[in-house]
Amino acid sequence: MDELFTSLVRYTLFAYSAQTVAEIGERLVPKGMLRSEFRSPLREWLSTGTGLALSVASGADILADLGLVLDPPLVGIVITGLIVGQGGRFLGNWLSSIPRAVPGSPKMPKG
């Protein structure tokens, strides 16, 4: 159980890191240099690339952690990178959908 919790925390941190790097990378591009319809794909590519880099560098394999060991192991590592890279956006959207009960916190949009 302790190992499962450690893996969950690791993948959550990877996803958060990938999303943060992508948001920073998007902000570094001057507004006039990139058309607005390319900003969202840029963020997704940066997030996916960061997720891939983190999983390849660490050897993280979510499928192996779940008991599905692939041969060669690089396949599972790349799949993990893709999941982590796109999982940050999903995690951020999910966390922002949770109503805040803290006084003075921003109100969630309705609808």
Higher pLDDT, 90 or 61: 61
Report if residue 57 sits inside a domain: yes
Domain membership of residue 72 as a residue range: 2-92
Q: Which pLDDT score is estimated for 58?
A: 92
Report if residue 100 sits inside a domain: no
Report if residue 22 sits inside a domain: yes
Which positions ≥6 away from 58 have C-beta within 8 Å?
A: 14
Give 72-88 pLDDT, tens digit per residue: 989 999 999 999 998 87
Report if residue 106 sits inside a domain: no
Report if residue 55 sits inside a domain: yes
Report if residue 49 sits inside a domain: yes
Report if residue 15 sits inside a domain: yes
Per the prediction, the chain carries an average pLDDT of 82
| C-alpha distance across the termini of the chain, in Å | 39
Instruction: Return the CA Rg of the chain.
Output: 17
Report if residue 39 sits inside a domain: yes
Q: Which pLDDT score is estimated for 104?
A: 62
Contact 32, 3 (CB under 8 A): no
Can you give the pTM of this predicted structure? 0.73
Domain tally, the chain: 1
3-state SS class at 13: helix
Q: Report the distance separating Cα 34 and Cα 54, nearest Å.
A: 27
